[in-house]
Structure 1
Amino acid sequence: MSAIVDGPPRPLRPQLAALRICGSAMVALGVFLSGFVISEPAPYELVMAAQIPLWFLLGLKISRTVAPLLILLLLFNIGGMFSLTVMQDMSGGPMYVAVSLFLALSAVFYAAIVEDDHKRLSLIFQAWVAAAVITSILGIIGYFHALPGFEVFTLYDRAKGAFQDPNVFGPYLVPPALYLIWRLLTGRAAGAPLAIAGLLVLSLGVLLSFSRAAWALFAFSAIAIVAIMLLKERTGAFRLKILSLSIAAILVMTLGLAAAMQSKKVHDLFESRAKLVQDYDGARLGRFERHKMGFLMSMEHPLGLGPMVLGKMFGEDEHNIWLKSLTTYGWLGFVCYIVLIWWTLIIGFRSLLRNRPWQPYLMIAWVMLAGHALIGNVIDIDHWRHVYLLFGIIWGCAALERRYQSDLRRLRIADREKGLERAAPEGTAAARPLLDC
């Protein structure tokens, strides 16, 4: 299998090898900077805006597998451009659509660089973990006023790290937390203390964000990732290890939560935020009422209302990605976004349990995208940078799988022409039928 995935070794000229190393380092730097978005444009935008065109000028290609992602995101943003034509006050609208288009291109870029070399996935997640741990520590220090001046990393008595909003900060920490959970369950015992320490920092950051969406996302994704691993692993010993470590992790996190609750400030805010429906949700002209009115208004405006228009009308943004796609991107954007979500989940699910080098990263990204689609019912995610990274990872892995299957078919055809019968060792990925999707 590794021979099919990596292919025969190709000697690279020293200059080309150095260029690829620098390019991968720039990708990791971009992912790392995604955790520090206090103001816009953030350093993330500057680095990505410089390297995306440079990569494609140097030969990075968009394959046929990734092309639908590009087409859907372009149509989605064309819907946003159409919505600008119905706005009376254009202030902020063009910039909003420009950011949307930039983020769309970043998703295509991530898909292309993952397809180009699956080994970059490990680098991407390591950079994500580093950024998440640092920004989580900033939020924790600021929340407890441990150091003077760190209050800038809080908002409304909620930790927000190096983000503008706690509701973005909390969900951003969940994918790297899932990566650490996977490392903890599958890695060596020597690396467990470091993974546990990082997981505790991220868990506390999610807790102190006091984002109900982040809490639900963390609970859903942790359960889902363990369930998928139990389905994937066939040996009883490994399943017992997963169950044992999962129970131990739950106990440790419960103890950590109990310790955090000893702070009256944390306890009171947690008790207030833990209510399923807040006053601003169910009140007159609250979130749910705005959802209803917004959907009814959108039915009369095929081109949408324009970016941020609904928020100016009611004093609050849509807080619903489906409504947001209707009001900001029109009927065209709404249809494209639904197709994009479902298509991405389907292509990821088809190879979710296949034994590939990129399978753990696909598993994490797929679970996270499914979770973000769910919390999108109560929050806007169209400008969340890490969501577009998840899109890119899943589509990049789908392209890797297609290339793997194509290479495998060519090898079998070549063997048949030689009169040989290629039989992979029992239990390997290559021994399974090609139509197992």
Structure 2
Amino acid sequence: MSELTQSGLPRAAVQAKAISIVTSAAVTLGVFLGGFVIHEPAPYELYMAALLGIWALFGLRISGHAAVLLTLLVLFNIGGFISMGVMSDLYETPMYLAVSIFLALTAVFFVAIVEADHSRYRLIFLAWVAAGLVTGLLGIAGYFRLFPGAGMFTLYDRASGAFADPNVFGPFLALPAIWLLHRLLTGNPLLMPVTAGAFVVLVSAIFFSFSRGAWGLFAVAGVLMIAALFLQSRSGLFRLRIALMSLLALAILVAAILFALQLPGVSDFFATRAKLVQDYDGGQSGRFARFAIGFQMAMEHPLGIGPLNFGRLLGEDTHNIWLKALMDYGWLGFASFLTLIAWTVIGGFRILFRDRPWQPFLLCAYVVFLGHIGLGTVIDMDHWRHFYLLLGLIWGAMALEQRHQRNATHLR
């Protein structure tokens, strides 16, 4: 009788269910906190550090895929420590690299937890959507000064939400916006009004971030996702639905943008931000000129010049993740990062169209990740929390596929 609860259910089953609820809630809260990073360390770092520690004590399982990801990220950061060795003044570099290592561990953590239970994909995506809606609404409220003090959610008259930089705020919203677009195209029609409303909020927040990178990221990811749905399905009826719903989503998007452009000052600012090359991009001291200078410096300094030193020497940061890897993490870090990106792209694409319960989540994470690779040519993202979450989601799917194949082999 001691093995049964008062309800008559097995005690072990009740305990397992309780643990599942607690762990699911813990993961959900962690992902949600990723949408609020105004200062460092942010609540996300403090919470996730505790969560990683507790989970490790109670059985965090590191599979082969998680171990490979960890190895590549550790090599990347070893490059950073070697690069730090050439610095005469360390400044805040040790803390910077500590954050880099922590973020690497979060990527491995997400691989482990989704591999252990693929239903956590849905929780992660729902938490990301919730965080996106909250921080997106804060950004919109700040842009329009809807309440006293709302201006703290903007920077340079651009919506930044609960982020320090609109150029991070906008890309953070890409995954939840793409997921909602996926649900509009393939989900329950009865939920369409709610989904469409949330989609408009996120797209509006991306628009008011006035981040050209975020605009391009969302557009590229959206096109890739729709194309993938067409390629994946052989049903003419389903393809017709995708086409019709894509047109509807496009109409909603265009209507929202046209409405926004009618608001005072928006159209002029949009015209300024929509220029492909801004004043700070061109010229002998512009962003693109610094790219050439930086890559030449990389030839002369194979160990790098030290994390964050590029900005101190040239007055502004690298704004290019590949140059960032060379300057801050040396050739070892660059090679590790290049291998990581190539492995993620190839490994994710290999399983992208396989009919699995986690495939819709992989598809959305994958196309947004591809957009981030392109975005990395004009911005640094080695400390973007959500970038490491994307890595964890894709590598988690790779690990799940390997286990699925192994189980299928055993059943033959």
User: What letter corresponds to residue 117 of structure 2 in structure 1?
Assistant: D
**Other-structure match for 2:7:** none
- Give the match for residue 60 of structure 1: 60
2:79/2:329 contact within 8 Å kept = yes
The runs of 4+ residues in structure 1 deviating greater than 4 Å are none
Amino acid across the alignment from 1:392: G
In 1, are the aligned partners of 2:178 and 2:364 still within 8 Å (CA)?
A: yes
The residue aligned with 2:292 is 292
**Distance across 2 between alignment mates of 1:404 and 1:115:** 11
SS at match of 1:399: helix
Q: CA deviation at 1:112?
A: 0.4
The one-letter code of the counterpart of 2:278 is Q
Cα 1:181–1:12, aligned 2, differ >3 Å: closer, same or farther? farther
CA contact (8 A) 2:142 2:152 kept: yes
CA contact (8 A) 2:184 2:249 kept: no
Which residue number in structure 2 is paired with residue 74 of structure 1?
74
Q: Which residue of 2 aligns with 1:405?
A: 405
Could you say which residue in structure 2 is the equivalent of 1:348? 348
Q: Distance in 2 between matches of 1:17 and 1:60?
A: 18
Which residue does 1:239 correspond to in 2?
A: 239
What is the TM-score with the length of structure 2 in the denominator? 0.96
Answering whether residue 107 of structure 2 is matched by residue 107 of structure 1, we say yes
CA distance in 2, matches of 1:256, 1:182: 18
Residue pairs, 1:216-365, within 5 angstroms: 216-365=216-365
Which residue of 2 is the match for residue 431 of structure 1?
none
Q: What are the residue-to-residue correspondences of 1:88-237 with 2, within 5 Å? A: 88-237=88-237
Distance in 2, Cα, partners of 1:12 & 1:77: 42
- Looking at structure 1, the residues matched to 242 and 253 of structure 2 have their Cα atoms a distance apart, in angstroms, of 16
Sequence identity of aligned pairs in percent? 55
- State the SS of the aligned residue for 1:61: coil
Give the Å deviation of 1:165: 0.2
Provide the residue aligned with 1:83 in structure 2.
83
For 1:144 and 1:200, how far apart are their aligned partners in 2? 16
The CA deviation at 1:95 is 0.8
CA contact (8 A) 2:282 2:288 kept: yes
Deviates most, 325-334 or 60-69 = 60-69
> Which amino acid letter does the alignment assign opposite residue 285 of structure 2?
L
Partner Cα distance (2:121, 2:188) in 1: 20
Deviation string for 1:265-288 (max 9, x for gaps)? 111111001000111111221000
Partner of 1:26: 26
Cα distance, 1:12 vs structure 2: 4.5
Q: 1:115 to 1:12 in 2, by over 3 A?
A: farther
Once the two structures are TM-superposed, the CA of residue 11 in structure 1 deviates from its matched residue by: 9.3
Q: Distance in 2 between matches of 1:332 and 1:172?
A: 28
Q: Match of 1:248, as an amino acid?
A: L
Contact residue 167 and residue 213 of structure 2 kept, 8 A: yes
| Deviation of 1:264 (Å) | 3.1
Residue 4 of structure 2 corresponds to none
CA displacement 1:233-280 (0-9 Å, x = unmatched): 111111101100100111111111111001231111110010001111
Cα displacement (A) at 1:16: 3.1
The TM-score with structure 1 as length reference comes to 0.91
Q: CA deviation at 1:14?
A: 2.2
Q: For the structure 1 residues 177 and 12, does the alpha-carbon distance in structure 2 shift closer, same or farther, using more than 3 Å as the test?
A: farther
